[in-house]
Amino acid sequence: MTELSQIRNFSIVAHIDHGKSTLADRLIQSTGTVKDRDMQEQLLDSMDIERERGITIKANTVRIDYIANDGQAYVLNLIDTPGHVDFAYEVSRSMRAVEGSLLVVDATQGVEAQTLANVYQAIDADHEIVPVLNKIDLPAAEPERIAEQIEDVIGIDATDACLISAKTGIGIPDVLEAIVTRLPAPEGTRDAPLKAMLVDSWYDPYLGVVVMIRVMDGVIKKGDRIRMIATNAVYGIDKLAVLKPAMVDIAELGPGEIGVITASIKQVRDTKVGDTITHERKGTDDPLPGFAPSVPVVFCGLFPVDAADFEDLRTAIEKLSLNDASFSSEMETSAALGFGFRCGFLGLLHLEVIRDRLEREYDIELITTAPSVVYHIYMRDGTMTELHNPADMPDMTHVEHLEEPRIKATIMVPDEYLGDVLKLCQDRRGIQLDLTYAGSRAMAVYDLPLNEVVFDFYDRLKSVTKGYASFDYQMEGYRQDNLVKMSILVNDEPVDALSIMVHRDRAEQRGRAMCEKLKDLIPRHMFKIPIQAAIGGKVIARETLAALRKDVTAKCYGGDATRKRKLLDKQKAGKKKMRQFGKVEIPQSAFISALKMDS
């Protein structure tokens, strides 16, 4: 057990790509926690998808032993957090387990939207914050200017900011000293009843569910009988360990310490993040406040391309949910696409990550339908239902009104692109809440409907600002608006998987855009095909896909027979990627691409 005074717990937070994981690498390496030969870049990003995309998705904890300049031994518990807004929940709960934050800011880029979002969370969690200016090895780094910007925009003192290059290792010793001297030691009482916070849990194929805990009071030992207060479940501790970052068994954990336990827990859903863990006997009656659970905000249908894969998809989704409690799923049937699942995600990146993993780790080709948000439908009979799928929209005659989720979006952007950003927000039904300047950067705060943002807002934002804008958002509750269901008819038949909810004033424009898109996405057939958008029975947009006129190989002689046969095999495979609607084949990619807006 470690004395409280010798412990420092902190999270590393920053805007996406500002170098959190690289800084974690250097802290791990320079303290000898991991041998040089076992080191690799962004060591903690261990999932394939993290390594491939170069981003952190899951927060990771490492315990580091450090001998400080004062000659004393310290235990540092570091939590590397994800930068992407979809995983903001990981950051907020990580912060609840520690007392301080290293706020990393890329000295070539400065304060960005997630920098701000993270600072506010750190302040909310009563953290001591140490600003760290990273990437000073780059010629474009302007540490003085960025330090000023931090003071101006965020309002925290940056005179003692650490200047570092996480890549080359410059400044790392200063960071370690700052952790020890500037961050507070945790508090807690060894003799009090056990009170530990359930910070995170994940599924390990060998160990089962692993639970990460932060001990507040008391001592926890291997073999202890524990109770989780919220779920009221009782377990015996099989394993008690710390992460270095590999698991190392430990005899006990006392106040201020962070570690993991296993206890024959079957699935991640049996654990509630933020729950309080205590002893079965002589436990505390005074649970920690807990966290609000993460809620899925984006829903879409996932259908197997090959209907025969449905059972495999079911198994794959069950296995993935073992590990990721933040995504939800329920069975769905679509007239167009057959059997599949309606799944809920924290955001679009989360959706992409889950879909990628299903396709790759379980080898199932998927059709993804248009993402949708959760609407509240107030019925004339006074009841309210949640609508996760536009196809389930009840008859309007029974509906009193509809409400849609809104967000508060913060966008940071260089001056010269501000006009385009404001236009984009306006086009997406945004209401400006605030507009301020810090040097040549503007910060716009908008109230926006989530449904206008979910799909391609971020892509559009990046494209109109050449990648210079950053974006963060928070959910802001529900608001009534004039929302309608728009159906798409292909060759006069409605295609349920293409129906969307849309604001009445935007319906014509969206309908026209979708019909035009579909006209490009659906290959020509032997006959002409009308493509229509309709609200109720009323057609609001229409395009006609002309019939195919020419597709023939001009020359075909003896040597071409084999080639033609191979082509036929390829076409057979290609046909699997199509969905048949009456006499029309629609490529699966159309279900997402049809929604993309060019403006």
Ligand X SMILES: Nc1nc2c(ncn2[C@@H]2O[C@H](COP(=O)(O)OP(=O)(O)OP(=O)(O)O)[C@@H](O)[C@H]2O)c(=O)[nH]1
Ligand Y SMILES: C[S@@+](CC[C@H](N)C(=O)[O-])C[C@H]1O[C@@H](n2cnc3c(N)ncnc32)[C@H](O)[C@@H]1O
Binding of ligand X at residue 17 (CB under 6 A)? yes
Q: Which of residues 26-45 bind ligand X (CB under 6 A)?
A: 42
Burial 341-365 (b: 16+ CB within 10 A, else e): bbbbbbbbbbbebbbebbbeebebe
Contact segment (CB under 6 A) with ligand X among 12-20, 124-132, 404-412, 554-562 equals 12-20
Binding marks (x or -) toward ligand Y, 44..63, rule CB under 6 A? --------------------
* Residue 19 annotated in ligand binding: yes
* Residue 22 annotated in ligand binding: yes
CA 378 to chain centre: 30
Query: In the complex, what is the shortest distance from the CB of residue 56 to Mg ion, in angstroms, rounded to a whole number?
Result: 3
Burial 481-500 (b: 16+ CB within 10 A, else e): bebbbbbbbbbeebbbbbbb
Binding of Mg ion at residue 134 (CB under 5 A)? no
Residue in the structure block whose two tokens are 């002893």 = 279
Contact 174, 125 (CB under 8 A): no
Using CB atoms within 10 Å of the CB of residue 420, give its burial: 0 to 12 exposed, 13 to 18 middle, 19+ buried.
middle
Contact segment (CB under 6 A) with ligand X among 160-168, 219-227, 347-355, 366-374 equals 160-168
Q: Which of residues 555-574 bind ligand Y (CB under 6 A)?
A: 555
Closest CB to other proteins among residues 145, 564: 564
Query: In the complex, what is the shortest distance from the CB of residue 13 to ligand X, in angstroms, rounded to a whole number?
Result: 9
Contact 194, 279 (CB under 8 A): yes
Closest CB to other proteins among residues 234, 556: 556
Query: In the complex, what is the shortest distance from the CB of residue 298 to Mg ion, in angstroms, rounded to a whole number?
Result: 22
For Mg ion, the binding residue among 9, 11, 56, 487 (CB under 5 A) is 56
Contact 470, 15 (CB under 8 A): yes
DSSP 178-232: HHHHHSPPP---TTSPPEEEEEEEEEETTTEEEEEEEEEES-EETT-EEEETTTT
For ligand Y, the binding residue among 554, 558, 571, 573 (CB under 6 A) is 554
Binding of ligand X at residue 83 (CB under 6 A)? yes
Closest CB to other proteins among residues 70, 569: 569
Residues in the chain: 599
DSSP 287-347: -----PPP---EEEEEEESSGGGHHHHHHHHHHHHHH-TT-EEEEEEETTTEEEEEEEESS
Closest CB to ligand Y among residues 550, 555: 555
Tell me the residue number closest to ligand Y, measured at CB.
Answer: 554
Contact 372, 342 (CB under 8 A): no
For ligand X, the binding residue among 166, 277, 377, 541 (CB under 6 A) is 166
Residue 137, contacted partner among ligand Y, Mg ion, ligand X, none, CB below 5-8 A by kind: ligand X
* Residue 135 annotated in ligand binding: yes
Q: How many alpha carbons fall within 13 Å on the CB side of residue 75?
A: 23
Interface residues with other proteins (CB under 8 A) are 526-527, 548-559, 561-562, 564-565, 568, 571-572, 575, 583
Closest CB to ligand Y among residues 248, 561: 561
Binding of Mg ion at residue 127 (CB under 5 A)? no
Quick check: helix, strand or coil at residue 115? Answer: helix
CA nearest neighbour of 299 among 261, 260, 347:
347
Binding of ligand X at residue 55 (CB under 6 A)? yes
Cβ count near 384 (within 10 Å): 10
Query: In the complex, what is the shortest distance from the CB of residue 204 to ligand Y, in angstroms, rounded to a whole number?
Result: 59
Contact 171, 165 (CB under 8 A): yes
Residue 266, contacted partner among Mg ion, other proteins, ligand X, none, CB below 5-8 A by kind: none
Closest CB to ligand X among residues 112, 224: 112
Quick check: helix, strand or coil at residue 581? Answer: strand
For ligand X, the binding residue among 54, 236, 419, 439 (CB under 6 A) is 54
User: CA 289, CA 307: separation in Å to the nearest integer?
Assistant: 46
User: CA 316, CA 326: separation in Å to the nearest integer?
Assistant: 16
Query: In the complex, what is the shortest distance from the CB of residue 19 to Mg ion, in angstroms, rounded to a whole number?
Result: 8
For ligand X, the binding residue among 9, 11, 22, 118 (CB under 6 A) is 22
Binding of ligand X at residue 167 (CB under 6 A)? yes
Residue 166, contacted partner among ligand Y, Mg ion, ligand X, none, CB below 5-8 A by kind: ligand X
| Residues at the interface with Mg ion (CB under 5 A) | 20-21, 56
Residue ranges for the known binding site for GTP are 17-22, 134-137
Binding-site ranges for ligand X (CB under 6 A): 14, 16-22, 42, 54-56, 82-83, 134-135, 137-138, 165-167
Binding residues for ligand Y, per CB under 6 A? Answer: 554-555
